[in-house]
Structure 1
Amino acid sequence: MTGFLPNSVPPWGRCEVFLTLEGLEALRLSDFEGLDQETAAERMNVSRQTFGRILAGARRIVAEALVLGKTLTIDGGDFQFPARPPGRHRRRGGNG
């Protein structure tokens, strides 16, 4: 998903808010998977305090989009994908 769009335009017009990828990941770990903040912070390789700030900001953005009927766009952020262990590669399609 790259975003969500309200099914109607509010009287004040269409507005947009942005949720970073790390904000989405914090929401996924905490609210979807139900992890405690310490475990989720370890998964994201950040401190518990940093995780808490990311999560609070992400929740504020999602709430703003829902309450005010704003378009929610998921994009950007400051993150790195973890390195894969040698010899372990994800395969795409095919037979084997």
Structure 2
Amino acid sequence: MPRPKKPRFISGYPSINAFVPRGMPQTGETTLPVEGLEALRLSDFECLDQETAAKIMNVSRQTYGRILNEARSIVSGALVTGKALVIKGGTYTMHHGTKLRRRRGRR
């Protein structure tokens, strides 16, 4: 029996859930998991290194690299073959970004 996947932290659910090629016939549909989009966002849009992005997503650096590699493969495959890219599914949980406050002194 395989080990259950640990949920990955994402900053928020994407506001856009699909990309469809325009001006050419659609040849099918491919699915990008939500954590794959988050990995692309952290590395390519936010320009973070893999170690920092892995800490944000609460996974190891190796797991982050694998998620990023799979996401890049899915996106490039959809672009080259003219498939619609649907963003859904995956194993993730929302990261609310709450920080612990330290109290200074007594009041």
TM-score between both structures, scaled by the size of structure 2: 0.72
Alignment of 1:12-91 (within 5 A): 14-82=27-95, 85=98
Give 1 or 2: higher helix fraction: 1
TM superposition outliers: structure 1 runs of 4+ over 6 Å = none
Give 1:80 shift.
Answer: 1.2
| Cα root mean square deviation, aligned | 1.7
Deviations 1:31-76 (A, max 9, x none): 0000000000000000000000000000000001111110000001
Q: How many residues align?
A: 84
Q: Which blocks of at least 5 consecutive residues in structure 1 are unaligned?
A: 87-96
| Partners of 2:94 and 2:67 in 1: CA distance | 17
Q: CA deviation at 1:25?
A: 0.1
- Is the CA contact (8 Å cut-off) linking 2:31 and 2:88 kept in structure 1? yes
Q: Matched residues in 1 for 2:58 and 2:35: separation? A: 11
Percent sequence identity over aligned pairs: 57
Report the structure, 1 or 2, having the larger strand content.
2
What TM-score comes out, normalization by structure 1 length? 0.80
